[in-house]
Amino acid sequence: MAAFSDVYFWRQSIVLTADCLHSIGTGFMMSYPAVLQPAILTVNSTDVRATANEASWIAASHGLAGMLGFLMVPYLMQTLGRKTVHIGLNVFAGIGFLIFALAQSVPVLYVARVTQGLTLCGVYVTPIMLGEYSHPKRRGYFITLKKCSVAIGSLMCHSMALCWTWRQIAVFAIVPHIASTIITLMWPESPAFLALNGRYDECGKSHTWLHGDSPKNKKELEELIATQMERREKVKNRRNLESVMRKMLRKDFLKPFIIASLLTMLVDACGRYYMLAYVVEILSEVTGDKAIAAYCTMGADTLTIIALLVSCYVIRCCKRRNLLFTAGITCVCLMFLTSIIVMLKTRHILGVSANWVTPMIILLNVFIVNVGVIPVCFAIIGEIFPLEHKGTGSCATGIVFTLLYALVMKFTPLMMERTGVEGTFGIFGLFVLVGLVILYFILNETKDKTLQEIENEIRGLKKLIET
C-alpha cells in the first residue's frame, strides 16, 4: 500500500492513464474490422457495400499504411519528443474514426483505415515511452495495464456491435483519444529524450518530478546524463547514410532488433491481432453456430481482460524469460491440440462434443497468451533497445511489425478458406515454436533492471565490469 502514498507513483500514473486511454482507442481500432466487414458484406445492412476482396484489403491497408508511420514517427520521437508524438497519435486515430463515421463509399473507408494506419506504430512506440517514464519495478505491470486497456477497447467494440451501427461505434471511439490528448498535456517531457538532446537541466527537472531526488535516483540521473554526454561527444560529425548503416550493423543494435522482431512474430502468431479481427469467423466455423460464436467472442474479450489483470501480478513475480517460455510452450501445445481436434472432427472421428471442446481450448489459449506471452513480449520490447538506438530500432522493428500485421490480416481469411481452422492454427503454432527456440539462446533477463543496466548488458559492459 506504500505505493498509494507515493507522490511519484501518482505522477507516473498520469502518464499511464493517458496511455491507457490511447490503448482503449487502439482496441477499438484493432477490433473494428469485426464490426465493419460483416456490415459492408451483407446486402441491405448498410448503404456502403464491398466485395470480400475489398473488405480484406481495407483491413490489411491499416498495416501497409503503418510502414509510413514507422518511417516518420521514430524520427519525430527523437526530434520533437515523446509528448508531442503521443498527442499526434491520438489526433490521427481520432480523425480516422471521424472519417469512418462520415464515410459514404468504399474509397473513403480506405482513406479512414490508412489514416489510422499512420498511428499503428503506437503499438510499439508507446510501450517505449511508458518504459522511459516509469520506475523499473513498475514498468512491467504498467505496460501490462496498457495492454489490458486494448482488451477493454476490444470488448467494448464487440459488445457495441450487438446494438450499435458501425458509424455510431466510430463516433464513440473518438472519445478516448480526446481524453488521452488532454491528459498528455499534463506530462513533462521524457528525461531520456531531454538527455539524448543535450537538455540536461530540463532532464534533471523532469527526472526529479517523475522519480524524486533520493540518492539512488540522483545516481541514476547522473548515469543517464553521463552516458548521453559521452555518446554526444563521439557523434560530433553529422550523421549520414553510411554512419547510420554502420550503426545498424553493430551488435548493440542487431541483437535487440532480432529479439524484438522475434517477439513481434510471437505476438502476431499467437493471435493478438487476428483473434481481434476474425474471432467471430473462427468460432463460427468451429461451432457451426453464429449465436454461440458471438457469446464466445464476448467470453474471449472478457478472458483477455482478466488474464491481463492477473498478468500484472505474474509479471512482477516472474522472471521475463521463465514467463515467456512457460506460457509460450503452453500456447504452442494448445494451438496444436486445437488443430488436431478440428482435423479429427472434419474426418468424423470425433462427434458433436468437439463443437464445445474446441472453443474451450481456444478460449484457454486466449487466457494463457494474455497472461504470459503478450505482456512479457511488449515489456521486453519496451526495454531492450539502448537509448541511442530507440528511434532507429523502433523504425526497423515497426517495419517488421507492419509487414507481419498486414500479411496476417490479409491472409488469415485465405488460410482458413484453404486449410481450415486446423491448418491455420497448426501453421501459426509452428511459427511460435520456432521463435521460442531461437529466443531461448539469445534473450537476456531484463526484470527489475534499469534501462541503463539493460543497455550495458546488450553492449557487453557488464562482463567487462565484473572482470
**What's the pLDDT at 467?**
45
1 pLDDT band, cuts 50/70/90, is: very low
Write a three-state SS string for 230-269: HHHHHCCCCCCHHHHHHHHCCHHHHHHHHHHHHHHHHHHH
Instruction: Average the pLDDT over 336-365 and give the result.
Output: 84
Q: What is the mean pLDDT of residues 285-303?
A: 81
C-alpha cell at 235: 557523434
Q: Where are the alpha helices (DSSP H) in 118-199?
A: 122-133, 136-160, 166-184, 191-196
Domain range annotation of the chain: 2-187+237-466, 191-236
What b/e string do you get for 337-362 counting C-beta neighbours within 10 Å, with b at 16 or more? bbbebbbebeeeebeeebeebbbebb
Confidence of residue 167 (pLDDT cuts 50, 70, 90): very high
Q: What is the pLDDT of residue 329?
A: 96
Q: Tell me the whole-structure pTM to 2 decimals.
A: 0.78
Most confident of 144-153, 191-200, 265-274, 381-390: 265-274
Q: Identify whether the C-beta of residue 17 lies closer than 8 Å to the C-beta of residue 146.
A: no
CB 83 within 8 A of CB 184: yes
Selection from 33-47, 67-81, 236-250, 334-348 with the highest mean pLDDT: 334-348
Please check the confidence at residue 355 and state whether its pLDDT lies above 80.
Answer: no
Q: What is the pLDDT of residue 170?
A: 95
Q: What is the average pLDDT value for the chain, to the nearest integer?
A: 84
| Helix, strand, coil percent values for the chain (each to nearest 5) | 85, 0, 15
Please tell me the least confidently modeled range out of 115-119, 313-317, 434-438.
313-317
Q: Which amino acid is at 254?
A: L
pLDDT digits (tens, 9 = 90+) for 9-22: 888 889 999 999 99
The reported pLDDT for the residue numbered 464 is 45
Among the ranges given (122-136, 138-152, 238-252, 371-385), the one the predictor scored with the smallest mean pLDDT: 238-252
Name the percent of the chain lying above pLDDT 70: 92
Class of domain 2-187+237-466: mainly alpha
